[in-house]
Structure 1
């Protein structure tokens, strides 16, 4: 990774990126060590810029340091085996853990706002992707706030100036929410799936089903988690628990299944059953599509069903989405097994950068 040249130190990455640092910069061996560490910490940013071809979050390095301070082990961004093809790993939960905190690189990030590059977690070899936070900044801010509330911890120092610009020790106490840090997070940081679900289930545990449903509605609405199935899946589960709400549960499960199946937290089969759907996964997927809705409407009106064929780009994007869904449904063996076909579909959709990113995994 490093070579000495007459003009200084050439520090290069495996992705043919290089930074030349003047020799005069290094007064001691300690300085050289610190410089190499700084470059190493930018490894993920380099990968994002050059391989994933997207903008690296400003505070990504601070988040990785905080994850390490929590006991996590930094993972090479190219070490993507067993992970969803659109993920970039940051850190595992420990040296022996297959649970990996990652960034999600959407094929079309602009359409995913406010989840342009969310922080997620996935177990290697599994199917579902768990949403942790909508952005690096929101996740980092939350971790620092929670660490402060639980007593002096190592995270604030680990975060460095970038992280410390988001949160200062005592901010939660000063807000008046010291006894309810989740309220500080909601009001000052952002929306989080686990907090939203906890609020709803808390109301339910106290027998306040109306408030539980209101909290669930709040979780789903206002585009807080655009493109993510879990809020609707959660609502379906909640209606099921309440009993005699099977139609509402059915409707919410069907909304969830119109979104990427890998964003479900439970199994595809459980969502399918709550949605009162039958048939093969591909049949279920078609029956929930706009094409099926148009055909059903034409049948009801005794008219002729006619829809313009999908544009080639839309058809290719749908092919890619179906491949990912079929892994979740067990029709495809694994994410690694579809990488080449997935890349081809994105390439046909005109997303060459996404295709190259998918095939670059090790």
Structure 2
């Protein structure tokens, strides 16, 4: 039986999809990228600026400070802006590599910056099944790898991530950090953003609250998965099981739609006595969400299979993924029987989701499924999404 938080998650379950277009060395590739980046939101292609606000400020903050919560992109002076290079495409190849390589980044991600040390990308994750011209539908910010099976969630939107960086800079106290806080406040307070995101950050606010930067960010900025996980672990180390689980459950609710929060929740439950059935249910909840949101590596998928009691620790990765896929197919078949008939749009969404999930599990190249995804989106008149995922198509 699923616990309360898992039931809530089942209600919130959806399969978000997003898109990526990146620059490359070929003229055809660059033109496709420029078209998507610069097009007006009134056209079939949605402007990235509508959903990743203040892109140039975000890229500067990431470059100077690093991406908080990331696995290999958190160091200062390591990240190099990607999307700003649409005006100087001749520089792209030296930074990103050939088109063929970059097209193997997750198809639903829009690259923002690239780590020069690890090669990982900070990206925006797009859900084409929302009204994206609405300012209330920003794209989450994630970390990903070329050819990786999934992503690591960093923040629900660019403004949350930038304000967190401003808070961390404020506690640093250096002249360089104060300059970044000033940069962050640039253009805020003009009514261009939702009111909750539009107020300039007041220097000294973290110290004034008195709880430290992590708690300030969770209380006054927004939800961040790594901070909830840190809080949960701290409570667990103190022997406070209830508070630990509450922190993890808060992440499940506030960051709905991402399997990675349930993967952590399952791991946490498994660390407590008499919680193994709940841990199993939490891990299996990941299979009801987009599989690419489980994590960045196949080890993350392996962890879901083991915690979900579908595989053993000693199983090979191949056998583990096969067992994970067996349960995935059973759950999918049960959902199809429950759903009954579908509209063409619903059928297309399911087809795209299934194609993405199977590619993640099989380790196939993302570049190989882009044309198919484009065909699916065109079948329901989502030409904007077709152009995002099928980079070389002019249709």
**What's the TM-score bracket when you normalise by the shorter of the two chains?**
0.7 to 0.9
* Preserved CA contact (<8 Å) 1:141 1:166: no
Q: 1:57 aligns with which of 47, 52, 59?
A: 52
- 2:202 pairs with 1:168: yes
Provide the secondary structure at the position in 1 that maps to 2:53: coil
Q: After the TM superposition, which residues 144-293 of structure 1 pair with which residues of structure 2 at under 5 Å, given as runs?
A: 144-152=166-174, 153=177, 154-159=179-184, 161-162=186-187, 166-174=200-208, 176-177=209-210, 179-221=211-253, 224-265=254-295, 267-277=300-310, 282-289=325-332, 291-292=333-334
8 A Cα contact 1:346 1:354, kept in partner: yes
Aligned 8 A contact 2:284 2:308 in 1: yes
Secondary structure of 2:235's aligned partner: helix
Instruction: Tell me the SS of whatever aligns to 2:186.
Output: helix
3-state SS, counterpart of residue 88 of structure 1? strand
Higher strand share: 1
Displacement of 1:287 in angstroms is: 1.6
Partner of 1:103: 124
Q: Please give the alpha-carbon distance, in whole angstroms, between the structure 2 residues aligned to 1:294 and 1:84.
A: 26
Match of 1:126 in 2: 148
Q: Take 1:113 and 1:235, find their aligned partners in 2: how far apart are those partners? A: 31
Give the secondary structure class of the aligned counterpart of 2:122.
strand
Q: More displaced, 334-343 or 185-194?
A: 334-343
Q: TM-score, normalised by structure 1?
A: 0.75
CA 1:17–1:261 in structure 2 vs 1: closer, same or farther (change >3 Å)? closer
In the alignment of these two chains, the number of paired residues is: 308
Larger Rg: 1
Instruction: Identify which of structures 1 and 2 has the higher relative contact order when contacts are C-alpha pairs closer than 8 Å and 6+ apart.
Output: 2
Q: CA contact under 8 A between 2:262 and 2:286: conserved in structure 1?
A: yes
Q: CA deviation at 1:138?
A: 0.6
Compared with structure 1, are the counterparts of its residues 256 and 166 closer, same or farther at alpha carbon in structure 2 (3 Å cutoff)? farther
SS at match of 2:144: strand
Please report the TM-score for the alignment, with normalisation by the length of structure 2.
0.69
**Structure 1 residue 339: Cα displacement:** 1.0
Instruction: Give 3-state SS (helix, strand or coil) of 2:271's partner.
Output: helix
SS at match of 2:355: helix
CA distance in 2, matches of 1:17, 1:229: 29
Contact 1:236 1:248 in 2 (8 A): yes
Distance 1:113 1:252 in 2: 32
- Return the offset for 1:160: 6.1
Alpha carbons of 1:211 and 1:308: their partners in 2 closer, same or farther (altered >3 Å)?
closer
Residues of 1 paired with 2:44 and 2:113: CA distance?
Answer: 18
Contact 2:52 2:138 in 1 (8 A): no
- Cα distance, 1:294–1:324 mapped onto 2, change above 3 Å: closer
Shift of 1:56: 4.1
Alpha-carbon shift at residue 250 of structure 1 (Å): 1.3
- Decide whether the 8 Å contact of 1:235 with 1:249 is kept in 2: yes
* Closer, same or farther: CA 17–212 of 1 in aligned 2, 3 Å: closer
Counterpart-to-counterpart distance in 2, 1:270 and 1:113: 36
Deviation at residue 284 of structure 1 after TM alignment: 2.3
Q: 1:132 is paired with a residue of what secondary structure?
A: strand
Judging changes above 3 Å, is the alpha-carbon distance between structure 1 residues 131 and 293 closer, same or farther for their aligned structure 2 residues?
Answer: closer
The equivalences for 1:283-362 within 5 A come to 283-289=326-332, 291-292=333-334, 308-329=340-361, 331-360=362-391
Conserved? CA contact 1:130–1:263, under 8 Å:
yes
Distance 1:216 1:113 in 2: 28
Mean Cα displacement is larger for which, 193-202 or 342-351?
Answer: 342-351
